[in-house]
Amino acid sequence: MTTVTDLVELFESEAARDRPSEQTPDVGIIMGSDSDLDVMAGAHDALVDLGFAEVTDYDDPPEGYSFESWVVSAHRTPDLMYAYAETAADRGLDVIIAGAGGKSADLPNMTASLAYPIPVVGVPVQEKSVDSVIGMPTGAPITAVDAGKSYNAGLSAAQFLATGDDELAQRLRDLHADQSEGVADVSRELHERGTPGFRASRD
Ligand code: RP5
């Protein structure tokens, strides 16, 4: 069985290893519970759509941009949250995506404070979590997306990285262009089939 202490020690030992940046994840995805994963999977999907690979073994890192995923609970495992956020820079992370649900969704805000100045993109997993995620007081900002919009959080994380990488910026442009074409396709189809025909084609 893995304990919180095991994971704290893992993060601390990774921080101490001083690996080159090509061998460390660029983006960290954390969520308060595995019950958040269905919502948070959008961040994974966006990063994969942009060519990122998921790191599942620190000793066998993929090539190119990468990300990692962990469950870190602010209220059940505060020690783990501290260790994750405080070692993030030394583990090579450049951006963190943090999602949590409930009315007091503290993980994104606390992570933004502890990992500062690493940018944190907050995802309110539920509608009732929005105020607690976007309501950061002055001093330790958080970038946040709307409830459940974790795909946008993945895009936003890549945007931070793309400020220093034209090739990644182009991947973002290409993905945006693909989405534009999808809208154009569906727009023409609606126009040419007419509303009843279009709705019938969707049944
Ligand atoms: C929050 O409480 C988590 O982010 C999750 O959205 C919610 C419920 O967690 P579980 O009780 O399902 O683990 O901290």
The domain that holds 49 is classified in CATH as 3.40.50.1970
DSSP 179-199: HHHHHHHHHHHHHHHHHHHHH
Sign of the Cα pseudo-torsion (11, 14, 20, 24, in order) = negative
| Same domain as 109, residue 20 | yes
Of 31, 14, 32, residue with least CA distance to 23: 14
| Same domain as 179, residue 158 | no
Cβ distance 74 to 115 under 8 Å?
no
| Same domain as 66, residue 18 | yes
Which atom in ligand 1 lies closest to the alpha carbon of residue 75? 14
| Same domain as 170, residue 99 | no
| Same domain as 116, residue 23 | yes
Mean pLDDT of 172-201: 94
148 lines ligand 1 (CB under 6 A): no
- pLDDT, residue 28, reads 98
Mean pLDDT of 143-157: 98
Q: What is the extent of the structural domain holding 38?
A: 4-163
Cβ distance 124 to 144 under 8 Å?
yes
- Tell whether 36 is in a known binding site: yes
Mean pLDDT of 38-61: 98
The overall pTM is greater than 0.75: yes
104 lines ligand 1 (CB under 6 A): no
How many structural domains does the chain have?
2
Mean pLDDT of 24-36: 98
Check pLDDT > 90 for residue 199. yes
